[in-house]
Amino acid sequence: MKNENVRRMPNIQTQFGKSVRRLRFKRDLSQEALADLAGLHATYIGRIERGRQNISLTNIGKIARALKVKPGELFKGVH
């Protein structure tokens, strides 16, 4: 049960990042390999996984595609 303030939204980036990392491990990909597949930078993937990046919808789509999942799959465990 989350009850944090809507404006602060502290958790979604962290939760999303963990989800990306979990799926990347599942595919046995390095951050660099995922970055290549998604057409993004490895440092950017690192920032996402550490919950430091407020990623955009189109980049969510690129990562989902690179991981061969639907975008919604990246939101499992994100509340």
Q: Is 62 in the site for a copy of itself (CB under 8 A)?
A: yes
Rounded Cα distance, 40 and 3, in Å? 33
Q: Is 32 in the site for a copy of itself (CB under 8 A)?
A: no
- Candidates 22, 39, 41, 68; binder of a copy of itself (CB under 8 A) is 39
Q: Is 65 in the site for a copy of itself (CB under 8 A)?
A: yes
Give the rounded distance of the alpha carbon of 26 from its chain centre: 14
The one-character DSSP state at 68 is: T
The least distance separating a copy of itself from the CB of residue 16, rounded to whole angstroms, comes to 6
Specify whether the CB–CB gap between 25 and 33 falls below 8 A. Answer: no
Give the rounded distance of the alpha carbon of 10 from its chain centre: 15
Residues of this chain that bind a copy of itself (CB under 8 A):
1-2, 4, 6-7, 9, 12-13, 16, 38-39, 54-58, 60-62, 65-66, 70-72, 75-76, 78-79
